[in-house]
Chain A
């Protein structure tokens, strides 16, 4: 419960970053953990709310007041047990979650939420450091076999839960390594990959059979999969990026953000790839899209030594501070400045990209943009209109399209399985039983809900595992 008056006594103090001048020369994490007494003081700030909005704000329903209290009392080991009871991989969320919990913290009403994410990360880091994280072996095994397809956070969580319930689990992955977007999308400076690897070690011991380099529908047929397994969980993510079909889209230098980011991650991981290098070194970079992926492109470009970086967004510039009383405890729209932005980039809003302009060699030289205006329309909709005569050019040799993902890739497995899709092109399934339209086929994570956060992926993976267990056994003791 922290200390009843803790929030009146201690100011919020979060983890600091290493200096920009040092960190831009490598791909290592640069977040500096809090010291022990600082951490306790931050834990003390938790008020043990009668209704802990954080607990609800957190997609995996982390039992935050409890672990805050234990952090305050210095009992990180017990805190870790509480944390693991809702979250398989707190070391991931403790690094890369945008922390909706903190947005919904009661103290955020006054802009000083408890540093929940920092506390979470400290707890689990201590767990690994002290050797408290151990494989949890199933006491008995069933004779059921489950295939989990896609080894991102949803697949990993799902596989782990199923293995703990005693099932034989095969975790299929088309890439060489597991981790999904966490490994190939998110830069190392935000999440070092060794952190994923050690967790995979735990999964393996617990009985998860990892099958890398296997694309369902290519390396293994859908029919074979259906035949070999009692249940199949689709956790393949939402990989189809939103494109920008404007003139000049085909020019050299115009790339999907993920193509750019994946390369660098592979490079850092010593993994070979057989496509042409995309390097921002000594070029002017334009990042289109104002979200986290765009931000990762900025940070990666900085590290590759780009000459200049510009990030544009079609939406208006969000307010510096949200209208708290009308947004809290929900996730607010507001201006967010990431560590990558601090490392150097120009940002602009209300900008639409009309055309990519190339040089005579078919290489990108600039993007032609226009200003837009947003006006409120019927039923709360906002309408966009272009400002006449506002055309301008942004000189760039690289443009990275970071405008999100539309839905899973349908070609191959999904089409072959013939599962129904929802209106947005995701695999249709509800969150009660996670079952697709095809018997014994389940779906979870971005593949089901569309592009989202790692923390949502973990939650869906866990919940789908529970649904599968119940489907296979009639009952389940896997937690909600």
Chain B
């Protein structure tokens, strides 16, 4: 395989190494008093061993993804070793050690050594000598050995020209950069061998490599040497998506270990490059110029981050200061932050955009060691402090066994917080102290006041007015407005302030295949996070989001100590009204003449036609460059000059072009970029403009359009209000789009280019959209210009249809003269008639019609010609229908989004043909697990686990053949879901374990999957509960999905689904259905190619879905690499769906996507219809296989050379498409599987549960109570779950009687303690626990309390990690201590007591009771729609930490309730004592007390006892958190029950 020296293969096919991701485990141990010892190294290595499960192993069992350690320079050992080599090391601090990876090739190595000889003296330092680092490479995997570098250490003596240690480190940095540049110049960029300098420092040294974490110490003999000592050891274990040995990408880097992902890295790299011209540094002086290029493109995001951090530190910022700049806390919407800190962040915001994404960063410079967490807290970091001055920190607690009695503190890093140990000062510095000293160091507020100007503070100007209707219409047409833009976007946005919703997927051609002139925005699809980082919920977690944009020149990044002269202009959000824009245009005379604005026209003379656009662009760029040189520092790109004689360059093209041009000229940070355009109107458009560099946008034509339909506005909405709502809708929509990628701020989104291009050629991309992924080529500038010109001509021409009306559009609904669709009246009726009449001929007509549509170039596969093997085979030699049907699955559609009739109909049909149906996210009623009398079964073979975890119980999971983790959905990747309250009837509420009438939210992310190692954990959890089921992961096609799939395979998924963007949905913002995700052809091909290259293909089954419709699609899917095939819309249509696209309105006229009982009666489907569809489909697949010469599907999988591009198709835009990469067939060695041949080794044999099951045999078989003892350490993950699965299998949801299996455990539990624990099992753990305690708790009881010998005060220390009780449906948990972030997220029925929780407690909760006997973090109860929480609010500030959007806070009322409970009053005469569990609207005091009593009973909590002893004092300090909808729904139910009682009717509904 063609490999880069770094170990990564070069780009080939659709594989691109720049898409690689990595996540990992990090940890450190240090001695606070800087006491060096070898022990610390040993323990550091032990941390690695105990976090082994957070890393991954690829095809080669000895090849890990990389591990490493950073520590202080082991001076004593080195002195002795160097002496042996004949040179003497001076005192500590007077010399530096460089760890150097050298090429094995002699000549190349020589060049590298020479580079040191040249550069070191040139920089005034002395090269003392070299030492070969002793290694034992017998532990390396074969695949790694090939890339193993020669490792040596270089010793450099401090020269006379450096004043102090800091200056020496700076000099070393300069030397390292220059050596790299010299080597690259000497031996070429691409073949610089393995040359790489992990560290060159007088303080620290890194040992790292492509070794299994447990082998790091075996490989580097230095690490075993007792003379090797350090007071700190920071270690890193990598989990990468690939299996290619890349030594340099192993961590730690020079300063840090990073567990996370920088989502905005492309933008950050661009902005760093853009700063070159404006950067200068007092401390670096002329050395600064020697550092460029600063960032080696193509490194990992973490490496890039490290490069930037190094620059900041070299430039004079302290490590912690630099960290605060790069990973700022959320300051914009945080009312709890003090003013000084906010000023600090706001000031620095103009210096540098955030490096946005989930991150736990551990860093050290050898004197300080610390860690910080991103604003969202999306990575775990736990630490303990011991009484003998050790601090141990890691992704997990318990990574080094420590005597509990020695521990003085157990805590965690909180979102946005930093934690620092200064070894020189010998103390721990907490977040508050670090930050207040930094924020008070300079008068940031004063500096801000002097330099930062807000647009709203500028004096008013005259805004532009809307033109007359006819002029407006011409402009709208020139900019490609359609009736749908008006009807489905602008109007609803202006009325409701929301990004509009639609349903079903997209079945229209991608822009490059459309016959209609498309606007440029349509050629881009939004990227979204899947697996390697989580999307954010911008509504429920709004506090981390920010739309603040800074317009105009950026200050000098390295201007550390004094105020810059440059002014900065701030807007609250980037959509400018006409008034805002005029303020900016005329800013010159205000704010001390700090700004000068120049308006550049994006229009050019129409007579120059399409051919003229390139020159017009060049002219525009030249002009931009010129005016920036002249001192203009805000550029407004405007297309207002558009008229009959002037064509507007697409605003996106002009914006991206100017942005990149100014980056290239180094001027970008000298001027701001504002776009005044009539073109942008949909959320997607604004995202693109921002994503390619626009700092603010004025969509004047959208505003004018609103003025134009003013008479259609309701009376209470003025034009101004409508425009305001429109802006609000754009803002919310943009936040949603950022958050899909896990990005929180507009500032870091700006210029980050989070898009794939589909159908644009490389010349166009390189020139104007530099570094954007575009995999299949496509049109160039001329074609793009032609489309623009066509639109312009039509607008100003005589087309009678456009005289009074906009073009119909037809994207969102089928229309004559509109966009083409795959599902048409013809194709739908043919399919339905075929399956209803059992008429295969009609079915063939359907296929023919559908394929004809494809060939009319609806999609990429329409351009394929299937040439097959060249030799057809007789039909009867092709494998039978049954074998093919087994590979079919129906798509995930929940009961709830579709009706019972529709849902069960598909299930029965799929079971009849031996295929699989999918529950979707909505649970499944137990009655369906038992076959019907006629032999049919309503059981869905595939049980979906989505982010809401609705109805995901132990019973549900054990009744699965496949368990599918839905990471993303084709129609709306990165989005959560929402089932409105009116759709949650009693029945659906029951299945989903929620309250009827209360709306349900599926969060955008799985809160237990923020990274790939988290996914591995969930896979492990699910495998434990149901070892027989295949665990599947559903991904959506986008560029890079292949590398994610490789990671998924390494995370031991048995199955992966790649969904195309044209899948369906019950409801989704149109922005998502239309503009996110890519065609499945690209995603599938990339996945297959990447898996094969990684030798991972054999161990995972690949399914493709999302827009498969015909046998030809199945065959194309197989040829591109799919083992299995999913159909959702096709199956729905077979049973009657008409593509009404009204699913979100509950008005489905065929009773499918509705819960309306009248409409459900109209459901026309029968299982036979669906059976017919799949049977005919399979038959046609066989026919095609015979024709192409394949006997089995397996023979066909991955044979992409059986496809060629159909050159006969005449389509003016398709000419530039190039499928070479798409159809690339990776060359593999013999024996490497190219389809699913083996199963994954999940390592379940190592689980403690195997022992539990044996010991609990009697309990499981006979119900005899048993008591079991167990000893846990953090590697014992998912404890109790396999056992729980056995119970659920036998006893279902009811489980066993209380405490039948009682497990007495001690130690630190690994992740997912007691996941899906069934009733009858109790785990009583003395010690502590990691993340995900009680995940999906399904009736069991979990107790976690401090160890017997612990001296800690429980209520002040951590007892459990993040995301406990996620998706719990019932059961109890008592935690004596504090739990981490997102406690009881999406709890729907468990009862729990805890003594303190982190941020986002009770998020999305829909049921159950949570009692917090201590403080909570911020954003408590966000999205909480059911259940109740009691919080002890001693400080009286709970209200400020609670998200009050959906809940009320109430006091605990005592007397009245008590009287009722005692049967003394109220309206409950004759009912006697009341069960307080029953009525959540009352009896709080009693219930609360009962809970605390139980807590004390189970945990012996001192806190609990104290509260009970002082109950009258404490009770009033409790606050009840009551969701508003929940109360309303409960009262409704009560009213109904009362009415029913009077009428003698039982209201419980069953069907």
- Interface positions of A (Cβ within 8 A of B): 1, 4-5, 7-8, 47-53, 55-57, 61, 63, 65-66, 81-82, 85-86, 104, 106-107, 109-110, 136, 139, 164, 325-326, 328-330, 477-480
A82 to B817: give the CA distance in the assembly, Å.
13
* Beta-carbon contacts under 8 Å, B802-859 to A: 804-805, 808, 812-817, 821, 823-826, 828-829, 832-833, 836-837
Not counting A63-B816, A65-B813, a sample of 11 additional A-B residue pairs whose C-beta atoms are within 8 angstroms of each other reads A4-B1147, A47-B1142, A50-B1138, A51-B1141, A52-B813, A85-B805, A86-B816, A106-B1149, A136-B800, A325-B836, A325-B1164
Any A CB within 8 A of the CB of B226:
no
On chain B, the residues within 8 Å of A136 by CB distance are 800
A8 to B812: give the CA distance in the assembly, Å.
24
Quick check: B504 and A50 within 8 Å, CB to CB? yes
Describe B's contact surface by its main secondary structure: loop
Quick check: A51 and B800 within 8 Å, CB to CB? no
Any A CB within 8 A of the CB of B607:
no
- Among B824, B1145, B1147, B1162, which residue has its beta carbon within 8 angstroms of that of A51? B824
Known: A8-B1158, A52-B813, A477-B797. A57 touches B1142 (CB 8 A): no
Quick check: B816 and A7 within 8 Å, CB to CB? no
On chain A, the residues within 8 Å of B1139 by CB distance are 49-51
Known: A53-B1138, A56-B825, A86-B816. A5 touches B800 (CB 8 A): no
Quick check: A49 and B813 within 8 Å, CB to CB? yes
A8 to B817: give the CA distance in the assembly, Å.
30
A82 to B815: give the CA distance in the assembly, Å.
13
On chain B, the residues within 8 Å of A51 by CB distance are 813-814, 821, 823-825, 828, 1138-1141
On chain B, the residues within 8 Å of A47 by CB distance are 1140, 1142, 1147, 1149
A-B contact count (CB 8 A): 108
A66 to B805: give the CA distance in the assembly, Å.
12
5 residue pairs from A and B, CB less than 8 Å apart: A49-B1140, A49-B1142, A52-B813, A57-B825, A479-B800
Quick check: A164 and B826 within 8 Å, CB to CB? no
- Among B799, B800, B816, which residue has its beta carbon within 8 angstroms of that of A55? B816
Quick check: A329 and B825 within 8 Å, CB to CB? yes
Quick check: A50 and B825 within 8 Å, CB to CB? no
- Among A4, A48, A326, which residue has its beta carbon within 8 angstroms of that of B813? A48
Quick check: A4 and B1162 within 8 Å, CB to CB? no
Chain A residue nearest to B799 in the complex (CB): A477
Chain B residue nearest to A330 in the complex (CB): B829
Known: A61-B816, A106-B1140. A164 touches B800 (CB 8 A): yes
Any A CB within 8 A of the CB of B801:
yes
Q: Give the distance to chain B from A67, nearest Cβ to Cβ, in Å.
A: 12
Any A CB within 8 A of the CB of B1150:
yes
Any A CB within 8 A of the CB of B798:
yes
Quick check: B829 and A329 within 8 Å, CB to CB? yes
On chain B, the residues within 8 Å of A8 by CB distance are 1147, 1156, 1158-1159
Q: Give the distance to chain A from B371, nearest Cβ to Cβ, in Å.
A: 51
- Among A56, A81, A480, which residue has its beta carbon within 8 angstroms of that of B817? A480
On chain A, the residues within 8 Å of B1141 by CB distance are 49-51
On chain A, the residues within 8 Å of B800 by CB distance are 85, 136, 164, 477-479
* Beta-carbon contacts under 8 Å, B1437-1477 to A: none
Quick check: B798 and A477 within 8 Å, CB to CB? yes
- Interface positions of B (Cβ within 8 A of A): 483, 487, 503-504, 797-801, 804-805, 808, 812-817, 821, 823-826, 828-829, 832-833, 836-837, 1138-1142, 1145, 1147, 1149-1150, 1156, 1158-1159, 1162, 1164
A48 to B1147: give the CA distance in the assembly, Å.
11
On chain B, the residues within 8 Å of A86 by CB distance are 816
| Chain B CB within 10 A, most for which of A4, A51, A82, A164 | A51
Q: Give the distance to chain B from A380, nearest Cβ to Cβ, in Å.
A: 10
Known: A51-B813, A164-B800. A326 touches B836 (CB 8 A): yes
Chain B residue nearest to A49 in the complex (CB): B1140
On chain B, the residues within 8 Å of A81 by CB distance are 804-805
On chain A, the residues within 8 Å of B816 by CB distance are 55-56, 61, 63, 86, 480
A47 to B503: give the CA distance in the assembly, Å.
14
On chain B, the residues within 8 Å of A139 by CB distance are 798
A57 to B823: give the CA distance in the assembly, Å.
15
- Among B814, B823, B829, B837, which residue has its beta carbon within 8 angstroms of that of A52? B814
Quick check: B1149 and A7 within 8 Å, CB to CB? yes
Interface pairs A-B: 3 shortest CB-CB? A50-B1141, A61-B816, A56-B825
Q: Give the distance to chain A from B1130, nearest Cβ to Cβ, in Å.
A: 15
Quick check: A56 and B824 within 8 Å, CB to CB? yes
| Chain A CB within 10 A, most for which of B814, B829, B1141, B1159 | B829
A1 to B1147: give the CA distance in the assembly, Å.
13
Q: Give the distance to chain A from B1367, nearest Cβ to Cβ, in Å.
A: 33
Chain B residue nearest to A136 in the complex (CB): B800
Q: Give the distance to chain B from A120, nearest Cβ to Cβ, in Å.
A: 16
A478 to B799: give the CA distance in the assembly, Å.
7
On chain B, the residues within 8 Å of A50 by CB distance are 503-504, 812-814, 1138-1142
A4 to B1140: give the CA distance in the assembly, Å.
11
A136 to B801: give the CA distance in the assembly, Å.
13
- Among B504, B826, B836, B1162, which residue has its beta carbon within 8 angstroms of that of A109? B1162
A55 to B818: give the CA distance in the assembly, Å.
12
Q: Give the distance to chain A from B318, nearest Cβ to Cβ, in Å.
A: 59
Quick check: A109 and B1140 within 8 Å, CB to CB? no
On chain A, the residues within 8 Å of B808 by CB distance are 63
| Chain A CB within 10 A, most for which of B487, B816, B828 | B816
- Among A7, A63, A104, A109, which residue has its beta carbon within 8 angstroms of that of B815? A63
Chain B residue nearest to A48 in the complex (CB): B813
A4 to B1158: give the CA distance in the assembly, Å.
15
Quick check: A109 and B1142 within 8 Å, CB to CB? no
On chain A, the residues within 8 Å of B824 by CB distance are 51, 56
A212 to B7: give the CA distance in the assembly, Å.
87
On chain B, the residues within 8 Å of A55 by CB distance are 814-816
Chain B residue nearest to A84 in the complex (CB): B800
A8 to B483: give the CA distance in the assembly, Å.
27
Known: A51-B824, A479-B800. A109 touches B1149 (CB 8 A): yes
Q: Give the distance to chain B from A72, nearest Cβ to Cβ, in Å.
A: 13
A274 to B1491: give the CA distance in the assembly, Å.
105
Chain B residue nearest to A61 in the complex (CB): B816
A82 to B833: give the CA distance in the assembly, Å.
32
Q: Give the distance to chain B from A52, nearest Cβ to Cβ, in Å.
A: 7
Q: Give the distance to chain A from B1129, nearest Cβ to Cβ, in Å.
A: 11
Q: Give the distance to chain A from B802, nearest Cβ to Cβ, in Å.
A: 9
On chain A, the residues within 8 Å of B805 by CB distance are 81-82, 85
On chain A, the residues within 8 Å of B487 by CB distance are 1
Quick check: B1138 and A106 within 8 Å, CB to CB? yes
Q: Give the distance to chain B from A373, nearest Cβ to Cβ, in Å.
A: 24
Quick check: B1162 and A110 within 8 Å, CB to CB? yes
On chain B, the residues within 8 Å of A477 by CB distance are 797-800
On chain B, the residues within 8 Å of A61 by CB distance are 816-817
On chain B, the residues within 8 Å of A330 by CB distance are 829
On chain B, the residues within 8 Å of A1 by CB distance are 487
Quick check: A49 and B1138 within 8 Å, CB to CB? yes
On chain A, the residues within 8 Å of B828 by CB distance are 51
A48 to B1142: give the CA distance in the assembly, Å.
9
Q: Give the distance to chain B from A8, nearest Cβ to Cβ, in Å.
A: 7
Q: Give the distance to chain B from A471, nearest Cβ to Cβ, in Å.
A: 18
A52 to B1138: give the CA distance in the assembly, Å.
9
On chain A, the residues within 8 Å of B1140 by CB distance are 47, 49-51, 106
Q: Give the distance to chain B from A50, nearest Cβ to Cβ, in Å.
A: 3
A326 to B839: give the CA distance in the assembly, Å.
11
A27 to B1165: give the CA distance in the assembly, Å.
48
On chain B, the residues within 8 Å of A109 by CB distance are 1149-1150, 1162, 1164
A21 to B815: give the CA distance in the assembly, Å.
44
On chain B, the residues within 8 Å of A7 by CB distance are 1147, 1149
Q: Give the distance to chain A from B1059, nearest Cβ to Cβ, in Å.
A: 20
On chain A, the residues within 8 Å of B821 by CB distance are 51
Q: Give the distance to chain A from B1149, nearest Cβ to Cβ, in Å.
A: 6
On chain A, the residues within 8 Å of B1145 by CB distance are 4-5
